[in-house]
Structure formats: C-alpha cells, structure tokens
Amino acid sequence: MRDQGIPLVACYTSGNGTIRLISPSSDTGSFKALFEESFHAFFAPMHRYACTLLKNNEQAQDVVQAAFVKWWEAGTRVQNLDEARKYLYTAVYHTALNVIRNDKSKKAQDEAYKLHHAHSTAGTDGLVVAELDNRINTLIEALPTQCKNIFCMSRFEGKTYQAIASELNLSVKTVETQMGKALRILRENLAGYVHTN
C-alpha cells in the first residue's frame, strides 16, 4: 500500500521480506544500485544473524527491514558493498539490542503486575491481605539500598529504566540487573502467597 502522490521508487523482495520505499531526498542512481545489491546480498544472512540474537523470526525480520529502511531514509553514503555490509550489520545489532532491552523491561513489568494482582486479589480474608501486605513491605525494606531505591522508583514512582539510570548516574543495564534482583527476591520469598502459571 502506498500513499497517493508519493512516488514509489523501490520495492525489494527477498525470501524473507518485502520493503517498499520512496525516494530519498538525495537520490542518485549509484545509491539505488548499491542499495539493491546490498539488499539481495545481505537480507538473508542478516536475518539469520538477527534470529540468533532475538530467537524470534518475526522480530528478526522487522529488525533487518528497519535497518534497510533507516539506511534508505537517511541516504547514508557508503562507498562499496563491504561498507554497506558493516553499516547494516551494525544497525541490525543495535536495533536487536533495543528489542531485547524492551522485551526484558516488559517481562519485568509483567512480573510486577502478577505480584500486584496477587496482592490485590489474595482473597477476601482481610488477614491474608494484611499479612501479604506486611510481608511485601518487609521484603522491600530489606532489599539492598540501591536495589530498593531502583525498585521503588520504578514501581511506585512509575519511572522508566532510562530515567532511573539518568537520575542515579547508572547504566540502564545496572538498573535492569537491580530490578531483576529485586523481583527475584520478592518472587522467592512470596512463593507461599503467590501462585503463578
């Protein structure tokens, strides 16, 4: 599907996907020729590479297509097929890492939701709810300082991992690790209260 009035300049298809592109602002014949040659030469191997990183065929295809689209839209000039390969593999690698990071964040949020949901629906018995509430608060207070701060900023203040990392002068990876640690401690210590599938 293409928008009316926007000239479709290129449509590339390989065994794994099709990309429809409009003309970049600084379009030249040599750019299109190198782009097409790169697409046919690298789409399939880059797709396999992305699959090894992501373990998901559809995500891998999306990542590779995004790398080609980004290159097309930016019109980044490379001199030959080898430079194109390096550019594209780097783009695939970084995009795949972003997908992995987002997936980990989503899983952590899902685990926190399960804990919260179990907490709010632990039963009609007020004693069970109060006991669970006390246990969760005790466990949170007992977390190591940095781990507790990161957990509270994420879960109670609603801050993103990136915002927490910036505020505490930490890497996003450190924030992810500390959140994983906090969730693991809570999960292990609430096993008698929370039943997950």
Q: What pLDDT is attached to residue 196?
A: 47
What residue ranges do the domains of the chain occupy?
A: 8-99, 122-189
The listed CATH number (1.10.3470, 3.40.50, 1.10.1740, 3.30.2320) that belongs to domain 8-99? 1.10.1740
Place of tokens 């992501």: 54
pTM equals 0.47
Q: What pLDDT is attached to residue 53?
A: 85
Alpha helices in 17-125 (DSSP H): 29-54, 57-74, 81-120
**Token code pair at residue 139:** 């466990």
**Pick from 96, 105, 118, 98: which is nearest to 150 by CA?**
105
Could you tell me the mean pLDDT of each successive run of 10 residues in the chain, 197 residues long?
Answer: 39 54 55 85 89 87 89 80 88 87 73 64 57 82 91 87 91 92 87 59
CATH architecture of 122-189: Orthogonal Bundle (1.10)
Q: What pLDDT is attached to residue 176?
A: 92
3-state DSSP assignment of residue 10: strand
Q: What pLDDT is attached to residue 169?
A: 93
Q: How far apart are the C-alpha atoms of 158 and 164, rounded to whole Å?
A: 10
CB 41 within 8 A of CB 33: no
Pairing of strands 17-22, 8-14: antiparallel
